[in-house]
Amino acid sequence: MNKDHQIEQDYLNKVMSTIAHQIEEVEADTAKRKKTVVHIRKHFWDDLKVNMDTFDDYLETIIGLRQQAQDLSVSQTTHRHAYNRLGKLKRIEKSPFFGRIDFVEEGMNVSESVYVGVATVTDETNETILIHDWRAPISSIYYDYPPGPAEYTTPEGKIYGQLEKKWQYTISDGVIQSMFDTSLTIGDEILQQVLGKASNKHMQSIVATIQKEQNKIIRNVSGRLLIVQGAAGSGKTSAALQRIAYFLYKYREMLKADQIVLFSPNKMFSNYVSHVLPELGEENMQQETFQDYLEYRLDRFFTVEDPYDQLEYLLESVDDPNYETRKASIHFKASSSFFEGIKRYREILASAGMVFKGIKFRGQPLVTSQQMTDVFYNKDSALRFHNRIDKLKEWLLKEIDKTEKMEVEKDWVQEEIELLSKEELQKVYDQLEKTDKYSENSYEFYEKENKVLARMIVLKKLRPLRKKVKALAFIDSKQLYKQIFENGMSGKLWDEQELPEEWREISSMTRDMLDEEKLYHEDATPYLLLKELILGFQSNSSIKYVLIDEAQDYSVFQFEFIKRLFPSARMTVLGDFNQAIFAHANNVADFQSLTSLYGAEETERITLDRSYRSTREIIEFTRELVPEGEQIMAFDREGEKPILSRLSNQTELHREIRSKVVDLQNSGCETIAIICKSAAESLSAYQSLQTINDLKLVKKNTDDYEQGVVVIPAYLAKGIEFDAVIIYNAAEQIYGKESLRRLFYTACTRAMHHLYLYSVGEPNQFIRKISPGKLNNANNYHVDRKQSPGFMGG
Ligand SMILES: Nc1ncnc2c1ncn2[C@@H]1O[C@H](COP(=O)(O)OP(=O)(O)OP(=O)(O)O)[C@@H](O)[C@H]1O
């Protein structure tokens, strides 16, 4: 151990002993506080004198009660704080820092050594900071600058100075394993080490190795909308999670984790990322999938298709006679034209076209839909749309009141009274006795009892009707949506040239689907948007930050929707257009259209071009698969080139894959994914590869990211990564269409260390266009590149 190393180890020992001491103190404190809480809870009433005899006694009792409740609440809060602090201290005890900067502030002539770690640690006096939290203003220098001039921003303004030295450490179990002076080492040694490791069951925090451009994303607080466009593996998800941790630190006095929502693609992804914040000592944010939200909000009687079934249809049902219509329908319904059309439609409905469901009572019309239309359009036509709906609701409730009065006199009510059970009669009798002092046998009592019973019966029968009216269920949302696809309506909503050629077929397909009480995925958000434009938006103002990961898969509709749903939130949108695999996403050619959400002044964009997930060789191959891929830079981590094997039949394919899996397992790979084009191909691959030990099939409802060997459709592997990826069948026959380019790219970019591509017959056009030398050929198959120049001129 050299001298510098010894000095740092001594400092580490000092910090560890301070933490150990603090742990002892906090432990004693938490035990004491826990006792207090339990005591107050147990003896809550013992210590309180309850006396209500006089007003003064009553007042004293109430004050005492309040005091007692307040004591309990204070003790509970301090206990929770102490408990959290204890958790944090224990987590950092043996590895309290990962970096150090020596900074000389302008105007001072002494250099200050700032150690950076996951949480702040102070000495016993509480005055000297031994470790700075990575989110503290000064810590940003660690991420943003090499030695030389540097600056950081504090609430009071910018601080300028000179960064003299920057050290990086790896510490394990209280011992410094390695330390690097970044002015002397070339490349980022620690990052090399981190990225070279095998994958994990859960995503890890990147706190020790955050890169400058990622730090910009994490600490950006200027506008309402931050858009991050980044290559596959560039750390978008990682930066998003660190950003949440940053918010929780910066706004710790006023922001709670449950005021932040992360929209993720599916449950497996949610689980995969769920450990990052706890690892950083923070509580997890809320996680949602857009589909869950849709299902929760849409009418129960609809069967709603999910995005995976939609995609599966597009991938596997090319021969369906309705295929082209459906495809055109998906594109149009995700477009801003359709969105604007729906808004226009709602305007039109203000003067004509509303559809109401007539209300019946006991099979007889109580109010017809025509009557409702008349009231809606004739009464107070100067009122705003939503006020008119409210008026109509009130009018309907009054009509129900009138019905109630008339119905109590009717014979059917008497008949139902006779059928009442003893218990029900007893209830009414008891109620009457309480309120009125009639003698039991008097005629008056009988009269009164009968009236109460009649009212009770009518009220009960009318209750569901009142409830429906209050919930505005008399508005026929389904019919209103259907009307868009009926003759003559499209002319009012769109210019002829805006409509797709297949509009007639799309219309008829949509009407049929609605008649079957089904909603295709592409209709779900437009339908909900229309419904909310008519009924009024439901919103959640308590949410302050919304982050949307894999944002390339959202349509303009969905963004607009999320914005309206969370009116008080700032939004972070992270995505990669090269991975836009859903058909509706093609319309969002870049995130440019999102600027209109909050306006240019409130919108910022950051691009991430460097990819960290995969080895340089894998990135040099995958970036040739997409347009403008040359902009994607690899982090300099070496590995073997991707390998292509061409096989002549399925039997050979399965034999080769089985043997490759065994090789990979023997070489220490912990996660191996056999990635297929679709769920249908995955199932067939899974059945054919059964002899692989403990092989798992990932389906759309799989909750956990499993280690070991998995067979998975490419669209479910989005956002996650594996030590080794095996592309099950990269043949032209499977990925022959240009529209599958992004799906294929997404599949290949899941690989961290190894990428193997198998092809039964001719490999696909994307592979054939790869420049020479970027792909190793396992069986010297000759790739004919002449007819197909690649994006990068290969
Ligand atoms: N600064 C960093 N330090 C260490 N590891 C990093 C860093 N940035 C990214 N990584 C690692 O790179 C991998 C990819 O990161 P992440 O999943 O966040 O990328 P992404 O842009 O969301 O990818 P994709 O678009 O493919 O879903 C992860 O293993 C992550 O830990």
Output the CA 610–ligand 1 centroid distance in Å: 10
pLDDT at residue 789, rounded to an integer? 39
- d(C-alpha 219, C-alpha 137), whole Å: 10
Binned at pLDDT 50, 70 and 90, residue 749 comes out as very high
In the chain, pLDDT over 90 holds for what percent of residues? 63
| 378: its two tokens | 């004739």
Structure tokens at 198: 């095998």
Which atom of ligand 1 has the smallest separation from the CA of 208? 3
Q: Is 742 in the pocket of ligand 1 (CB under 6 A)?
A: no
- Residue 658 to residue 87: CA distance in whole angstroms: 45
Q: Is the CB of 642 under 6 A from ligand 1?
A: no
CA 298–ligand 1 middle distance (angstroms): 35
Structure-block tokens of residue 293: 């939200």
ipTM score here?
0.99
Contact call for residues 263 and 285 (beta carbons, < 8 A): no
Cβ–ligand 1 distance for 576 under 6 Å, the answer: yes
Do β-strands 157-172 and 148-154 pair in parallel, antiparallel, or remain unpaired?
antiparallel
Q: Is 242 in the pocket of ligand 1 (CB under 6 A)?
A: no
232 labeled binding residue: yes
Give dist(CA 344, CA 353) in Å, integer: 13
**What ligand 1 atom has the least distance to the C-alpha of 238?**
18
Among protein residues, the one with the nearest Cα to ligand 1's atom 29 is 613
Question: Dihedral through CA 666, CA 672, CA 678, CA 679, nearest 10?
Answer: 90
* Whole-angstrom distance, CA of residue 413 vs CA of residue 450: 10
Q: Which residue has the higher pLDDT, 380 or 732?
A: 732
Average pLDDT over residues 50-64: 73
Task: Confirm if 141 and 103 have CB atoms less than 8 A apart.
Answer: yes
Q: Hey, which of 272, 552, 612 would you mutate to test ligand 1's pocket, going by the most ligand atoms within 8 Å of its Cβ?
A: 612
More confident residue, 415 or 716: 716
> 614: CA distance to ligand 1 center in Å?
9
231 is in an annotated binding site: yes
Provide the pLDDT for residue 740.
Answer: 93
Ligand 1 pocket, 682 CB below 6 A?
no
Centroid of ligand 1 to alpha carbon of 271 (angstroms): 16
Give me the pLDDT at residue 793, please: 34
| Ligand 1 near 205 CB (within 6 A) | no
More confident residue, 379 or 534: 534
- Check residue 78 and give its pLDDT: 76
pLDDT, position 498? 92
Residue 469, CB-side half-sphere exposure with 13 Å CA sphere: 24
Residue 784's pLDDT is what? 52
Report the range out of 52-56, 80-84, 588-592, 756-760 with the highest average pLDDT: 756-760
Q: Is the CB of 746 under 6 A from ligand 1?
A: no
Of 78, 113, 87, the C-alpha closest to 99 is: 113
Q: Rounded mean pLDDT of 677-703? A: 95
CB atoms under 10 Å from CB of 464, counted, come to 10
233: Cβ below 6 Å to ligand 1? Answer: yes
Atom 15 of ligand 1, nearest CA residue: 235
Does the pLDDT of residue 436 top 60, yes or no? no
| Region 200-204 average pLDDT | 86
Question: Which class for 625: exposed (0-12), middle (13-18), buried (19 or more C-beta within 10 A)?
Answer: buried
Whole-angstrom distance, CA of residue 586 vs CA of residue 516: 28
The minimum-distance atom of ligand 1 relative to the CA of 211 is: 1
Q: What is the mean pLDDT of residues 178-205?
A: 81
Section 371-396 average pLDDT: 88
Q: Which residues contact 369 (CB under 8 A, 6 or more apart)?
A: 355, 356, 357, 358, 476
Q: Parallel, antiparallel, or unpaired for β 129-133 and 121-122?
A: antiparallel
Does 230 sit in the ligand 1 pocket, CB within 6 Å? yes
Distance CA 403, CA 410 (A): 11
> What is the total residue count of the chain?
794
236 carries a ligand binding annotation: yes
| Ligand 1 near 654 CB (within 6 A) | no
State which of 209, 212, 613, 635 you would mutate to test the pocket of ligand 1, scoring each by most atoms of that ligand within 8 A of its C-beta.
613
Distance CA 255, CA 544 (A): 8
Residue 467 scores a pLDDT above 70: yes
User: Which single residue is written with the structure tokens 């849409």?
Assistant: 298
Q: Quick one: which of 204, 208, 57, 192 has its CA closest to 134?
A: 208
Contacts of 64 (CB under 8 A, 6+ apart): 48, 49
Q: According to the model, what pLDDT value does residue 590 have?
A: 65
Distance CA 746, CA 228 (A): 18
| 270 annotated as a binding-site residue | no
Find out whether the beta carbon of 206 lies less than 6 Å from any atom of ligand 1.
Answer: yes
The pairing of beta strand 364-367 with beta strand 359-361: antiparallel
Mutate to test the pocket of ligand 1, among 188, 237, 238 (most ligand atoms within 8 A of CB): 238
Q: How far apart are CA 758 and CA 338, in angstroms?
A: 41
Tell me: is residue 237 an annotated ligand-binding position.
Answer: yes
Number of H helices, E strands in the chain: 29, 26
Q: What is the dihedral of CA 640, 642, 643, 644, to 10 degrees?
A: -170
Residue 48 has pLDDT above 80, yes or no: no
- Given a cut of 50, is residue 405 above it in pLDDT? yes
Nearest to 563 by CA among 273, 214, 225: 225
Report the pLDDT value the prediction gives residue 247, as an integer from 0 to 100: 96
The CA 96 to ligand 1 mean position distance, Å, reads 23
Consult the annotation and say whether 208 binds a ligand.
Answer: no
pLDDT at 580: 85
Containing 775, the helix (H) or strand (E) segment is none
CA of 204 to the centre of ligand 1 (A): 9
Rounded to 10 deg, the angle between the 556-565 and 336-349 helix axes is: 50
Mean per-residue pLDDT for 642-657?
A: 95
* 417 vs 549: CA distance, rounded Å: 60
Average pLDDT over residues 389-397: 94
Q: What is the mean pLDDT of residues 286-291?
A: 92
Q: Tokens 């929209």 map to which residue?
A: 263
Mean pLDDT of all residues in the chain? 88
169 phi-psi bin (left φ>0, alpha ψ -120 to 50, beta other): beta
**CA–CA separation, 265 and 708 (whole Å):** 22
| Residue 581: Cβ-neighbour burial (10 angstroms; 0-12, 13-18, 19+) | buried
- Whether 354 contacts 474, CB under 8 Å: no
273 phi, psi to nearest 5 deg:
-95, 0
Cα–Cα distance measured from residue 1 to residue 513, given in angstroms and rounded to the nearest whole number: 74
Nearest to 607 by CA among 585, 586, 628, 621: 628
Task: Provide the pLDDT confidence category of residue 455 given band limits of 50, 70 and 90.
Answer: confident
Which spans in 334-442 are helix H?
336-349, 369-378, 385-407, 411-418, 422-435
Atom 18 in ligand 1: which residue has the minimum CA distance? 235
- Over residues 112-169, the pLDDT tens digits come to 999 999 999 998 888 899 999 999 999 999 999 999 999 999 988 999 999 999 999 9
| 61 labelled ligand-binding | no
Instruction: Give every CB contact of residue 23 below 8 A, 6+ residues apart in sequence.
Output: 86, 89, 90, 93
> Is the shortest distance between the CB of 613 and ligand 1 below 6 Å?
yes
* 234 ligand 1 Cβ < 6 A: yes
Q: How confident is the model at residue 457 (pLDDT cuts 50, 70, 90)?
A: confident
Residue 440 amino acid letter:
E
- Residue 238 Cα to ligand 1 midpoint, Å, equals 6
Q: Is 714 in the pocket of ligand 1 (CB under 6 A)?
A: no
What one-character DSSP code corresponds to residue 624?
A: G
Nearest to 617, CA basis, from 596, 594, 634: 634
DSSP state of 731: B
Asked if the model's pLDDT at residue 252 lies above 50, the reply is yes
Q: How far is the CA of 743 from the centre of ligand 1 (A)?
A: 19
Cα end-to-end distance, the chain, whole Å = 51
513, two tokens: 């689907």
pTM: 0.86
Most confident of 194-208, 288-302, 327-341: 327-341
**pLDDT average, residue stretch 172-177:** 93
